[in-house]
Amino acid sequence: MDAPCDRQHLLGTSLDEFAASCEDCGMPPYRAQQVFEWVYAKGAHDFAAMTNLSKPLREQWARQWIVRTATVDRRQISTDGTVKLLLRWPDGAASECVLIPDGRRRTACISSQVGCPVGCAFCASGLNGLQRQLSAGEIVEQVMHVRDLCEPRTPEASAPPGTPPLPEPARLSNIVVMGLGEPLANYAALLRALRIINAPWGPDIGARSITVSTVGLPTQIRRLAKEGLQINLAVSLHAPEDKLRGRLIPWAKRVPIEELVAAGREYYETTHRELTIEYILLDGVNDQPEHATQLVKICRQMRCNVNLIKYNPVPGLPFDRPKTFAVQKFVERLRERGVNVHIRKSRGLDIDAACGQLRRSTLAR
């Protein structure tokens, strides 16, 4: 169980673990069920809200447990409905999570670490390095904060004035672990959090609606494949050959693309979930026809689709958004050669859209 502050974080705890703790205190296990219904089904933020439980009982739990530990430090709302939150944890660390509405779909993009140890050359998150890991409870808590935005269940969870109205139904449908950090470098906390997020007594998000994005740690990819979860894996390739990839993603210097492809193939063979190759197009760097041709060769080695992302420029970094015609040519080259390719819609361009930007602009203040 997590201990993000002096009390234990309920959101990082399974129902069984909490039931065992209740039993240790002489309470029947159904009490745990009642508390979890308040937290997940009714969206209670603290024990005080659990009004059908006796006051002494609530006070007893509140001395030992905490439901939510973060405060919302900043909130940015885009004209396209994207809402970005900067959460402040009790130790002062800050991390980002985002609600991305798209048609009937509501996606929460959450972080796995505070900062990031990878240091990709084009990314705001890596600029200040890794501050610390997020605990499982903190990873789950981000989901709950985002869920509050699109399906408020308690008065305190209501979206603030100015939030663009969201069409019905507004159930949080998808999770992407694509915010700050390298999720597979925080493996134990990530796995615990994913199991809670997926649990029927928890946020109850289907495994097939959860995507973990990684720069590619082959050992952890193989391990994840054997966890018995049907989650989607997205591999951030960003360059189709090792030298360029090593320049863009420092950790890639240790992992040749060939090794990554082998791990990706194993992931598909074990889980039967098709991989997504993420490829961020940087003007004049990795968006040329020869890069598309090299990418096709990689795609032919495993069952995958390609998600192209047009770069959102980060102030102070020497990369630009790709030209429209270069993106079109790149897509055509891939499609003509049978690759299933999508261009990710740019969202929240009028707010600090790129991952890590809101946190960084706050740190800079």
* Binding stretches for ligand SF4 (CB under 6 A): 116, 118-120, 123, 125-126, 180-182, 215, 355
The Cα 259–Cα 218 span in angstroms is 7
Considering the complex, state which of residue 124 and residue 149 has its C-beta at the smaller distance from ligand SF4: 124
The Cα 15–Cα 33 span in angstroms is 7
Considering the complex, state which of residue 186 and residue 271 has its C-beta at the smaller distance from ligand SF4: 186
Could you say which of 96, 138, 182, 278 is catalytic? Answer: 96
Planar angle of CA 267, 228, 107, nearest 5 degrees: 80
Backbone dihedral angles phi then psi of residue 289, each to the nearest 5 degrees? -55, -40
Torsion sign across C-alpha atoms 279, 263, 108, 126: negative
Terminal CA-to-CA distance of the chain, rounded, Å?
A: 35
DSSP for residue 120: -
Could you say which of 97, 109, 120, 355 is catalytic? Answer: 355
- The CB-of-304 to ligand SF4 minimum distance in angstroms stands at 19
- The CB-of-225 to ligand SF4 minimum distance in angstroms stands at 20
- The CB-of-274 to ligand SF4 minimum distance in angstroms stands at 21
Considering the complex, state which of residue 4 and residue 356 has its C-beta at the smaller distance from ligand SF4: 356
Considering the complex, state which of residue 4 and residue 126 has its C-beta at the smaller distance from ligand SF4: 126
The Cα 271–Cα 199 span in angstroms is 19
The separation between CA 184 and the C-alpha centre of its own chain, rounded to angstroms, equals 12
The tokens for 294 are 């090299």
The Cα 197–Cα 177 span in angstroms is 12
The Cα 294–Cα 245 span in angstroms is 12
Considering the complex, state which of residue 119 and residue 246 has its C-beta at the smaller distance from ligand SF4: 119
- The CB-of-281 to ligand SF4 minimum distance in angstroms stands at 14
Whether 355 is a known active-site residue: answer yes
The Cα 136–Cα 21 span in angstroms is 18
Whether 96 is a known active-site residue: answer yes
The tokens for 160 are 């603030």
- The CB-of-231 to ligand SF4 minimum distance in angstroms stands at 18
User: What residues act catalytically?
Assistant: 96, 355
